[in-house]
A and B are shown apart, each in its own frame.
Chain A
């Protein structure tokens, strides 16, 4: 039969909507289903615009959950009947005579319970849940037995929820299908994710059940509750039997979702998980990463990403249109909580209104433990606090693997994001013997790591390379330690730092180790800051700061030197040699950072003290003098610089002898100041001499050699020998990339200088590209207002001007020449232009101080 456009829109079966609309008497059943729905609920099952709903799939749900309107006894059969009558598949709708029989029976007996065999069969046939999983037009669950309300503040996690749905639906060989274990650290939001999943996917399941899996008793009473809802196993008295009956029911029925929350002890659910081969799904939440024991494929719930966390906290605080200031503070709090939703929730519970937010972090830093252990007030899904949930994990671990707990205590003082196993191994001698044995023994190590990982306390990217740990967890572990234990661990870790992190010598042979362990050492120092007057702490911090300076990380270096200086000032006299050394190093780092004026003032001060206290020929005094000259030089005070350099060179020659690196440094510096005073030939000769000596003393692969090459090249450039300069600059930047790395400030300076030389050679495009690259890296590494960055920007502007002039010259050609064959006529205008450009460039570049 074909339809000729009859029937009212709201009651039309979906097959009538899609041409060619073929149908049979089942369209009447659809319509009757709509009538039944409307009779029961007083509302239409579908609106008149339901075409739009079906086609756009925007609203798969009926306007109201039907079961709300039906009295308890009729709820299950009646809602099932409606769902079946409104099946999208016409063949699945019941026949009219069967519907009639059911209603005849109900009206005769006044009961919804099928007593006799024949009617019972009919009943169960047409009143069983429909298998509409995932289809358009399916409805809210018939049974939605979830004990918690939807969390209105839920934010983010869309990817995880989608993955969860797909994973549950998918069927793959060699694994447990339609069953997923969500695992992750306590407080990371596993329960919230499942809760949101249940609410989002109400339309995909006919039955949704929520059972707590904390222990066997909870699990069994959960199954009993399900049994009461399903009216099965009512005659049984033993709860185990009832649970088994529920499992049987689940196995023969379709379209259900069973959630077992908080299964930390795998044994609790052993034998109590239903099998499913299709539309019945099970989700388990657990802190145990070893989900194979459940058994179920695992899916990790991680911390919230920064933006979701911020959104979550803002929503929780009811800050609809937050100011930039407030938003910044929220970012900081989310970072401090490490994106852990429960911790953010607790923070929100404490802060309450946005106005209170600005004091929170300082309170938190002072009373971390109290705040993390502060229970949430009000009717809340989660009764545990971050503190209690983790302390439960520790207690459990203490019973099974006490050595893992000890290990965790040490990990609590390390680099949260990345703990290198190599670092632990390198410093193993420093550790207590039991822990040392644990780390050395591959089997025991693997077991301990597994134990920690299984309670989701750490995350392991690979057992033998990297571990990570949540920073809030670190805080909780640290705070839970006895002061004595804490002190012992601190001193062990400092010793470990001393062993693993070498002091960089002139030969720089340890640079790779330093680079590898840098972040470990920074974390070690940060975590042990309370004992910062400890000599080991100071020694490590000095090594680190020195290394950072050599790596060109000037702002980091000056942070550490500043810190060290304040510690030194407390322990030593203002004029002690160590204090002076700190000041000298700090000034040097400031110079690198571009804070030349501060540096010169500090150096002047230090030099005066040094001369008086240490004597004018003390190596440190000479270093300070050199450093002061450098500050002057960077400030453009070349006369002052040159005088000091010359004086410094004399003194150093006398103290160190001719072939000492320090002397070479002084010679080189003097040459630089000659160049800037316009004594180009002297400069170039002295540079060449210094370079030769440096090659002899330090070898070709040394940063000092590179600096010499750079400055010799500058001298060539100033003499107008652009070819030679460009060649030497290129060699220099290659050498520096090799030795210092591609993003070291010195490397960038050479690249910039190379670009200037290229510009002067007329290779505009190349020069411009190089400038742009350099500028971008400098902006990132040094900051946008660092002098080097600004210099590069000025050069970049020059190059742009040059480019635009070239274009103007080309555009200014008479129009007829433009139409000539470009290949034959290209050389002529360009060469004419080239000369003009060259003259312009030399003038503009020489006007500007190069590098």
Chain B
């Protein structure tokens, strides 16, 4: 388990990178801290509609039920794949340039805000 200090340090790092859309491919983080008189920590960040895991694995399902809601994601062609990869790698490159390591890159942590047409990496691990 991480100690309280370590957790808050993590948050500080996240905040440093992500506050107020400092990089457009990272999910914006607004506030963080420990809930008073409890064991829970909180982080307040940008709302994203869809993460990549859903995008990849639940795509067919969504296609049949609510296809008209996801026009920009269709079809799953090479071009859109490349755009997603560009966005994620841009975000990751920014993190690395700031001497941080993400340590939990995965589809679930890559979120797409299709209103903005961008994929953003989430720098937080919901433990």
Residue B92, interface by CB 8 Å: yes
B89 partner, pick from A11, A27, A71, A96, beta carbons under 8 A: A96
B64-105 contact mask (Cβ, 8 Å, vs A): 1 or 0 = 000000000000001101111110111011011100111111
Q: Are A32 and B83 in contact (CB under 8 A)?
A: no
Is A333 at the interface (CB under 8 A from chain B)? no
Tell me whether chain A's interface is mostly helix, strand or loop, or mixed. Answer: helix
For A42, list chain B residues within 8 Å (CB): 56-57
Contact in complex: B57, A95 (CB < 8 Å): no
13 other A-B residue contacts (CB within 8 Å) besides A95-B93, A100-B86: A6-B103, A6-B104, A8-B108, A11-B105, A25-B102, A27-B103, A34-B105, A39-B85, A74-B78, A97-B93, A97-B97, A107-B82, A107-B83
Which residue of chain A has its CB nearest to the CB of B109? A8
Q: Is the CB of B106 within 8 A of A31?
A: yes
Interface residues of A in 1-58 (CB under 8 A from B): 1, 3-4, 6-8, 10-11, 23-25, 27-29, 31-32, 34-36, 38-40, 42
B86 touches A107 (CB 8 A): yes
Q: Does B115 contact A (CB under 8 A)?
A: no
Instruction: Contacts A4-B2, A11-B106 given; indicate if A28 touches B86 (C-beta within 8 A).
Output: no
B111 within 8 A of A: no
| B125 on the A face (CB < 8 A) | yes
Distance (Å) between the CB of A474 and the closest chain B CB?
A: 60
Interfacial residues of chain B within 1-55, with CB under 8 A of chain A in the complex: 2, 52
| CB–CB B89/A103 < 8 A | yes
Least Cβ distance of B39 to chain A in Å? 19
B101 touches A8 (CB 8 A): no
Is A678 interfacial (CB 8 A cutoff)?
A: no
Nearest-Cβ distance from residue A104 to partner chain B, whole angstroms:
6
A24 / chain B contacts, CB cutoff of 8 Å: 101
Residue pair B82, A27 in contact (C-beta under 8 Å) = no
A99 touches B93 (CB 8 A): yes
Contacts of B101 in A (CB 8 A): 1, 23-25, 27-28
The 6 closest A-B pairs by CB, nearest first: A31-B105, A103-B86, A96-B93, A100-B93, A100-B89, A96-B96
Is A830 an interface residue, CB under 8 A from the partner? no
Contact B81 A40 (CB under 8 A): yes
Partner of B85, one of A6, A25, A31, A103: A103
* A 789-805 binary contact with B (CB < 8 Å = 1; else 0): 00000000000000000
Let me know if A535 is at the binding interface, CB within 8 A.
no
How far apart sit A96 and B95, CA to CA, in the bound complex (Å)?
Answer: 9
Say yes or no: is A70 at the interface (Cβ < 8 Å to chain B): yes
For chain A, residues 84 to 107, give those with C-beta under 8 angstroms from any C-beta of chain B.
95-97, 99-100, 103-104, 106-107
Please report B residues at the A interface, Cβ cutoff 8 Å. 2, 52, 56-57, 78-79, 81-86, 88-90, 92-93, 95-97, 100-108, 110, 125, 127
Q: What's the minimum C-beta distance from B70 to chain A, rounded to whole angstroms?
A: 16
> Which residues of the other chain, A, contact B88 by a CB distance below 8 angstroms?
32, 35
Q: How far does the Cβ of B23 sit from chain A's closest Cβ, in whole Å? A: 12
User: Is the Cβ of A28 less than 8 Å from the Cβ of B96?
Assistant: yes
**CA gap between A656 and B58 in the complex, in Å:** 108
From the candidates B79, B95, B106, B108, name the one contacting A110 in the complex (CB within 8 A): B79
**Chain A residues whose CB sits within 8 angstroms of the CB of B78 once the complex forms:** 70-71, 74
- Choose one: B79, B83, B84, B92; the contact of A96 (CB below 8 Å): B92
Most B CB within 10 A of own CB, among A3, A7, A96: A96
Closest residue on chain B to residue A71 by CB atoms: B78
Residue pairs across A and B with Cβ atoms less than 8 A apart, 30 shown, are A1-B101, A6-B103, A7-B125, A11-B105, A11-B106, A23-B101, A25-B96, A25-B101, A25-B102, A28-B102, A31-B102, A32-B89, A34-B105, A34-B106, A35-B105, A35-B110, A38-B56, A38-B107, A39-B84, A40-B81, A96-B89, A96-B92, A96-B95, A96-B96, A99-B89, A100-B86, A100-B89, A106-B86, A107-B82, A110-B79
CA–CA, A600 to B97, complex, Å?
105
Q: Which residues from chain A contact B125 at a C-beta distance below 8 Å?
A: 6-7
User: Which residue of B has the minimal Cβ distance to A16?
Assistant: B103
Least Cβ distance of B126 to chain A in Å?
A: 11
Q: Give Cα A10 to B57, complex, Å.
A: 15
B104 contact from A31, A40, A99, Cβ within 8 A: A31
Distance from A238 Cβ to chain B, minimum over Cβ atoms (Å): 35
Contacts of B100 in A (CB 8 A): 25
Q: Which chain A residues have a beta carbon within 8 Å of chain B's beta carbons?
A: 1, 3-4, 6-8, 10-11, 23-25, 27-29, 31-32, 34-36, 38-40, 42, 70-71, 74, 95-97, 99-100, 103-104, 106-107, 110
Chain B residues within an 8 Å CB radius of A103 = 82, 85-86, 89-90
Cβ of A49 to closest chain B Cβ, rounded Å: 16
Are A100's CB and B90's CB within 8 A?
yes
Return the chain A residue nearest B59 by Cβ. A42
Contacts of A96 in B (CB 8 A): 89, 92-93, 95-96
Contact partners of A28 in chain B: CB under 8 A: 92, 95-96, 101-103, 105
Which of B56, B103, B105 lies at the interface centre, i.e. has the most chain A CB atoms within 10 A of its CB?
B103
Write out the residue numbers on chain A whose beta carbons fall within 8 Å of the beta carbon of B57. Answer: 42
* Chain B residues with CB below 8 A from A10, complex form: 106
Complex contact B96–A97 (CB within 8 A): yes
Residues of A within 8 A of B93 (CB): 95-97, 99-100
Determine the distance from Cα of A11 to Cα of B107 in the docked complex, in whole angstroms: 10
- Tell me, in angstroms, the Cα distance from A6 to B96 when the chains sit together: 18
- Best-buried of B82, B88, B100, B108 by chain A (most CB within 10 Å): B82
Known contacts: A25-B101, A71-B78, A103-B89. The answer to whether A35 contacts B96 by CB under 8 A is no
Report the nearest B residue to A31, measured CB to CB. Answer: B105
Known A38-B56, A103-B86; contact A32-B105, beta-carbon cutoff 8 A: yes
- Rounded to whole angstroms, the CA-CA distance of A385 and B36 in the bound complex is 85
Residues of B within 8 A of A99 (CB): 89, 92-93
Residues of B within 8 A of A104 (CB): 86, 90
Q: Which residues of A contact B97 (CB under 8 A)?
A: 97
Q: Which of A23, A29, A103 has the most CB of B within 10 A?
A: A103
Q: Which of B92, B100, B108 has the most C-beta atoms of chain A within 10 angstroms of its own C-beta?
A: B92
CB-based contact B52/A8 at 8 Å = no
Report the Cα distance A36→B106, complex, angstroms.
Answer: 10
Q: Which residue of B lies closest to A35 (CB)?
A: B107
Measured in the bound complex, the distance between the Cα atoms of B52 and A8 in whole Å is: 15
> Shortest CB–CB separation between residue B122 and chain A, in angstroms?
13
Smallest CB gap from A26: residue in B = B101
Question: Distance (Å) between the CB of A38 and the closest chain B CB?
Answer: 6
Instruction: Tell me, rounded to whole Å, the shortest Cβ–Cβ distance linking A694 to chain B.
Output: 97
The smallest C-beta distance from A17 to any residue of chain B, in angstroms, reads 14
Contact residues in B for A70 (Cβ distance below 8 Å): 78
A41 — nearest CB in chain B belongs to which residue?
Answer: B56
Instruction: Tell me which residues across on chain A come within 8 A of B107, comparing CB atoms.
Output: 35, 38-39
- The reply to whether B106 and A39 contact each other, CB–CB distance below 8 Å, is no
**B103 CB contacts on chain A under 8 angstroms:** 3, 6-7, 27-28
CA distance A6 to B105 in the complex (A): 11
Query: In whole angstroms, what is the CA distance A6 to B97 when docked?
Result: 21
Closest to B25 in A: A100
State in angstroms the CA–CA spacing of A404 and B80 once bound together. Answer: 68
> In whole Å, how far is B59's beta carbon from the nearest beta carbon of chain A?
8
B84 CB → nearest A CB, Å: 6
Write the chain A residue with the least CB distance to B100: A25
Complex CA gap A42/B79 in Å reads: 15
B61 to chain A, nearest CB (A): 13
Residues of B within 8 A of A110 (CB): 79
Q: Which residues of chain A have C-beta atoms less than 8 A from B79's C-beta?
A: 107, 110
B92: contacting residue among A3, A32, A38, A74, CB under 8 A: A32
Q: Which residues of chain A come closer than 8 Å to B82, judged between CB atoms?
A: 103, 106-107
CB distance from A638 to the nearest CB of B (A): 95
Task: Give chain A nearest CB distance to B60 CB in angstroms.
Answer: 10
| Bound: A38/B84 CA distance, A | 12
User: In the complex, how many angstroms separate the beta carbon of B87 from the nearest chain A beta carbon?
Assistant: 8
In the complex, the chain B residue whose C-beta lies closest to that of A23 is B101
Minimum C-beta distance from A42 to chain B (A): 6
- With beta carbons under 8 angstroms apart, the residue of B2, B52, B95 that contacts A35 is B52
How far is it, in angstroms, between the C-alpha of A25 and the C-alpha of B102 when the chains are bound? 8
